[in-house]
Amino acid sequence: MKIGIEHYLILSAILFCVGLFGVIARRNLLIILMGVELMLNAGNLALVAFSRFNGNLDGQLMVFFTITVAAAEVAVGLALIVSIYRWFKATGSDDLTFMKL
């Protein structure tokens, strides 16, 4: 069986959906953050696949940026979660509805 771009994209889509499911369905903020990471990496996978099959390096270049930004995001995100935990003594998303008026 020849591995084509479809396989990569389907894998990427599955990863994305798993990440999205994690973000939507799980209550724990840490898991949500992990879901977000998963979604980002699904995007990275798709970009790398496009780069490979198109024969240029633009996609890979983009992935480097994404990884950098993701790292920063994790740093800030984890800091926020720690801060929220200290402030509200809660890490469940259900408890954090104070954005509602």
Phi, psi of 35 (to 5 degrees): -60, -40
Report yes or no: 7 and 68 within 8 Å, Cβ to Cβ. Answer: no
Indicate the length of the chain as a whole number: 101
Q: Does 48 bind another protein (CB under 8 A)?
A: no
**Distance between first and last Cα of the chain:** 56
Q: How far is the CB of 67 from another protein (least distance, A)?
A: 22
For the window 57-86, what string marks contact with another protein as x by the rule CB under 8 A?
A: ------------------------------
Give the separation between CA 55 and CA 4, rounded to whole angstroms.
Answer: 14
Residue of the chain from 9, 11, 20, 34 that contacts another protein (CB under 8 A): 20
Q: Does 18 bind another protein (CB under 8 A)?
A: no
Q: Which residues bind another protein (CB under 8 A)?
A: 20, 23-25, 32, 93-94, 96-101
